[in-house]
Amino acid sequence: MASSFFSSLVFMATVAGVSAALGSAELDNKAAQIELLLERQASLERRLEKAQASLKEGLPAAMANGPSRSLTSISADITDPLDYMWLLICGSMVMFMHAGFAVLEAGSCRTKNASTVLLKNVLTVCIGTITWYILGYGIAYGKEDDPSKAVGSRYFAGADMLPEVDGAATLTSHPKDWFFQWAFCATSSTIVSGAVAERIQLPAYMAFTAIMTGIIYPFVVYWTWSGAGFLTEEGYSDFAGSGIVHLTGGIAALVGAILCGSRANRWEKPEDFYPHNMGLVALGTFILWFGFYGFNCGSTLHMNSSAKAMEAGLVAMNTTMSGSAGGLTVFFLRFIAAKAKKQEQVYDLCGACNGILAGLVAICAGASVFEPGMALLVGIFGGLFYEAGHYLLLMLKVDDPLDAFSVHGMGGIAGLLLRPLLCLGGADGEMFGANVLGMFVIIAWSGTLALCIFLPMRLLKILSYGLQEQEAGSDVHCSPPKAYSLDATGEAVTDVKIP
């Protein structure tokens, strides 16, 4: 070795120099000390060589073949698992939002319809999974090398997601992307469930869910999030789906609520239609709030750098600020209105819960670009837009048991309009025009197709239950035919009327 050779030269030179000045006895002593040092150095060098060889054998081949490939492999080994773990966790949180939707909707309705409401939410996820696999994902993300501006054309029924190489399937990122985007797709349909609760027939809802998750929502996604759609080219920007998810579902919910008609005696005896379980309402709200952290933070799509991590932190903070501001806005508006009417019941829990959700919906469009103070303002506007939608539907006597349109439709509109106006870089007029265009495109698309689905069913009298069935409750068609059995005899619990 070069180092050993150099050490020997040093040793010889030392011996020669010292021999001229010292006696033979002292020379022998110095020589022995130097020789001992050289042996120790050689031993250390041998141990270092063995350690390097052992380490090299334990590394992946790509990392052991040279510095450049090693760095690339190390980066991929770290960033890819981080991205996958991030989307799988956030997608699971979005999927858990269905638990929130289920208990919120069940608690908001009467006990005699609670089982049907829960069943609808279960079936929404199951149906949405199959239609997203067969049709939806391909329409939404199946862009070719020379893509269409209107619709995707590949990955239907899982085709090409795991391409064959040498006769064996090869793993790709598509299953991860499919899973994360599936969670969003099923959410868009669940929004409609609340608006048509207590009177839509289950087969009619199942048919609509298949079309919503397989056609209506996927087209909107392609136009916006695929990167190839015409709305993207126009400059439309919607980070986590104020318009893409919530407005799409909210408009379909409005059409469904109108065509399903009002529940029997809804306007004559409004006290009979109060939520039967406020515990479920509050629990559902908190579950949805939790899920929005997966919904919004996961929309960064990556967790492979410090910049992305900090972006996710900003999104989480803005989501929290906006939801809280929306809840307080509606709470105080309802309080002031009740005081003005000299009512005794001045604290509106349902209003506060829906205000929170409206604020969470509104922040979706720009959660990654708002300064936290602006997120507070977005939440306030989300609450105001929700209240406007709520009172508009009451005035028009449109029966929406969960205020689904007011929360998701009006909250979504607020988010789309505020996204270009309040972002960190200042107002963007071009983006504002693109978002307004996108808003009207979504309203027209989702509203028209929902009308084409619900109207024929109404004309054929297969959309809503009749008066007698509504009186009995839709749970008579479920097994077991009641959601609760709370007394010692096992008798069905009757609805509680709040004076």
Q: Compute the distance between CA of residue 394 and CA of residue 376 in angstroms, rounded to an integer.
A: 27
Statement to judge: residues 49 and 97 lie in one domain: no
Statement to judge: residues 157 and 195 lie in one domain: yes
The overall longest dimension of the chain from CA atoms, in Å, is 124
* Total number of domains in the chain: 2
Alpha-carbon distance values, 387 to 327, 337, 408 (Å): 11, 12, 12
Q: What pTM was computed for the model?
A: 0.83
Statement to judge: residues 108 and 29 lie in one domain: no
Statement to judge: residues 224 and 264 lie in one domain: yes
Statement to judge: residues 221 and 307 lie in one domain: yes
Statement to judge: residues 395 and 437 lie in one domain: yes
User: Which domain, by its residues, includes 252?
Assistant: 82-477
What's the angle, vertex CA 170, arms to CA 169 and CA 175, rounded to 5? 100
Q: Do residues 300 and 312 make contact, with C-beta atoms less than 8 angstroms apart? A: yes
Residue 299 lies in a domain: yes
Q: Compute the distance between CA of residue 368 and CA of residue 240 in angstroms, rounded to an integer.
A: 9
Statement to judge: residues 31 and 89 lie in one domain: no
Amino acid at 426: G
Alpha-carbon distance values, 41 to 7, 36, 53, 253 (Å): 9, 9, 19, 80
Tell me what pLDDT residue 68 has: 47
Structure tokens at 207: 């048919």
Residue 65 lies in a domain: no
Identify the H or E element spanning 168. Answer: strand 168-169
Statement to judge: residues 87 and 33 lie in one domain: no
- For the chain, what is the total number of helices (H) and then of strands (E)? 19, 2
Q: Compute the distance between CA of residue 442 and CA of residue 451 in angstroms, rounded to an integer.
A: 14
Statement to judge: residues 418 and 354 lie in one domain: yes
Statement to judge: residues 90 and 49 lie in one domain: no
Residue 266 lies in a domain: yes
Mean pLDDT per block of 10 residues along the chain (499 residues) reads 50 51 56 68 68 54 46 65 95 97 96 95 97 98 92 94 80 93 94 96 98 98 96 97 98 98 94 94 98 98 94 98 98 97 95 98 98 97 98 97 98 98 92 98 98 98 94 90 64 44
Alpha-carbon distance values, 150 to 219, 221, 451 (Å): 7, 10, 21
CATH number where 320 lies = 1.10.3430.10
Structure tokens at 234: 């126009």
Residue 452 lies in a domain: yes
Q: Compute the distance between CA of residue 212 and CA of residue 233 in angstroms, rounded to an integer.
A: 25
* Residues contacting 69, CB < 8 A, separation 6+: 62, 63
Residue 492 lies in a domain: no
Q: How far does CA 467 lie from the centroid of its chain?
A: 38
Q: Compute the distance between CA of residue 410 and CA of residue 289 in angstroms, rounded to an integer.
A: 18
Q: Compute the distance between CA of residue 246 and CA of residue 318 in angstroms, rounded to an integer.
A: 18
Using only C-alpha atoms, what is the Rg of the chain? 32
Tell me what pLDDT residue 76 has: 57
Statement to judge: residues 52 and 123 lie in one domain: no
Burial profile 262-286: b = 16 or more Cβ within 10 angstroms, e = fewer: bbbebeeeeeebebbbeebbbbbbe
Residue 71 lies in a domain: no
Residue 483 lies in a domain: no
Statement to judge: residues 51 and 105 lie in one domain: no
Task: Identify the bridge partners of residue 207 per DSSP, sorted by sequence position.
Answer: none
Structure tokens at 164: 């064959």
